[in-house]
Amino acid sequence: MLQPRITPCLLLRNKGLVKTVKFKPFKYIGDPINAVKIFNEKKADELIVLDIDATSKGLEPDFSVIKKLAAECQMPLCYGGGIKTVEHAIRIIKLGVEKVAVSSAFIKNSNLLTEIVTEIGSQSVVVILDVKKTIFGKYEVYINNGQTSTGQSPVDLAQKAEKFGAGEVVINSIDNDGVMGGYDLSLASKVRKAVDIPITLMGGAGSLKHMEELIKLCGVVGVAAGSFFVFKGSLRAVLINYPSCSDKDKLIKDSLNVS
């Protein structure tokens, strides 16, 4: 039986680990390899690593960094950032990464997604959609680190991602990013109802209760977070953390009403 996944998301900028609030500003919080080592010890379900500079600056994936991350990571690893070609995706998978994530490249050229899926399989391909509300309350997907609106809805693009072969869609709320006040449950529900492939929600987690609310609403989904796993207390001191096995089991049982 599939179970919800609890997934830390790490953001890379200039080879360092950073965190944002609503996609800005950038706060340096440490070395990504050290963070991976801690998540190994804490037995995280999986890990998402996103190079937030690569695509916006037109850079290729930093294969040297990816190689180090893949060698250290003892859990399934998803990497995104700068992937523009089938060759990029294949090379990353060969380095030991389980999944590649695309965003801007998919939106600009949906056929690229199908080409990547053909080479490495749908189970290894994730589409990430960064979503923000307009002043009129409409959800739109943005690219370029949340700076450019595509004018397209996350529901439409999630359905398109499924049609073109993606094995998973990650929905990231820009408005809730780093705020730690809870997930956008309305957004999560809309996308969950629109597609059959696995989805992961990101943006807003500040407690296990927030994760429980999301799973109760949407069922078996991935719950991802950044700030929740790297900050401690009201002063947001940097402290890498992850739920214990007992806390995680209780969260899943309570969320899904499993005895």
Q: Is 130 designated active site? A: yes
Residue in the structure block whose two tokens are 């390899």 = 33
What six digits make up the tokens of 52? 């937030």
What six digits make up the tokens of 44? 């995280």
CA distances from 39 to 6, 35, 104, 201, 239 (A): 12, 6, 28, 19, 12
**What's the N-to-C CA distance of the chain in angstroms?**
14
Which position among 45, 53, 130, 177 bears the catalytic label?
A: 130
Q: Say what the alpha-carbon torsion angle 75, 21, 60, 167 is, to the nearest 10 degrees.
A: 50
Contacting residues for 235 by C-beta, under 8 A, at least 6 apart: none
Contacting residues for 109 by C-beta, under 8 A, at least 6 apart: none
Please report the sign of the dihedral spanned by the C-alpha atoms of residue 150, residue 177, residue 229, residue 221.
Answer: negative
Residue in the structure block whose two tokens are 């929600």 = 201
Contacting residues for 200 by C-beta, under 8 A, at least 6 apart: 5, 7, 48, 168, 169, 170, 171, 221, 222, 223, 224
Contacting residues for 250 by C-beta, under 8 A, at least 6 apart: none
Catalytic residues: 130
